[in-house]
Amino acid sequence: MAVNSDQATGLRIVLEEMWKEIPSDLQRYFTESVLDEVFSTLQNPLTLRIAKLLHEVQLLREEELYKKRAELVRKIKQRMGSLKEAHQGRRELQAKAGLSLEDLEKELAADWKMMEDESKSELNQTDLSIIKDIDSIVAEQQEALQGVGVPFFKKTQNATELRIQMTLIDILRRITEMPQFFQP
């Protein structure tokens, strides 16, 4: 992190430029004093290390959650395909036997509807679980960044406060990608 005055000056300039990119509806929260606080917080090398680690952990967990959901979708499609094949087989047997398909079609439609309902419910439960996991990730980030003194960080569900935090996290993440300010 910024050890010498040239690095500190460079970091301050970078922060000021990033401040200009903050969405206009949030700029009123990002005052000069907040810029000073963020700059001061970044003098502690631990701040960027934590921000980098949090970002890496978030990416890994998001990938796990994506894979979990994708696997469920794949299994649901597979079950639906198997049911469709089974239904087609039953139709063919019914037709070969010369029996009416009317009652069978009602039964198959009910089977299909039940499978769709079960699949939707299973997918909804997984999505709720994923949302809880994402909320947990956010809470961990809030707590860690609050612990190193980054302004605006506290546990919250408030949409505006979350957007402010996301903006600051983005700034921190971008700084961690600048080798002149962050050495892993």
Contact of 122 with 76, CB cutoff 8 Å: yes
Q: For 176-182, what is the mean pLDDT?
A: 86
pTM of the model: 0.79
Q: The tokens 């600051």 sit on which residue?
A: 168
| pLDDT tens per residue across span 92-126 | 988 888 878 888 888 899 999 999 999 999 999 99
Q: For 120-136, what is the mean pLDDT?
A: 96
| pLDDT tens per residue across span 156-178 | 999 999 999 999 999 999 999 98
Q: Which amino acid is at 151?
A: P
Q: The tokens 């956010």 sit on which residue?
A: 138
Q: For 61-75, what is the mean pLDDT?
A: 97
Spell out the SS3 assignment of 90-103: HHHHHHHCCCCCHH
Domain extents in the chain: 5-74+113-176
At 67, give phi and psi (nearest 5°): -65, -40
pLDDT interval class at 25 (50, 70, 90) = very high
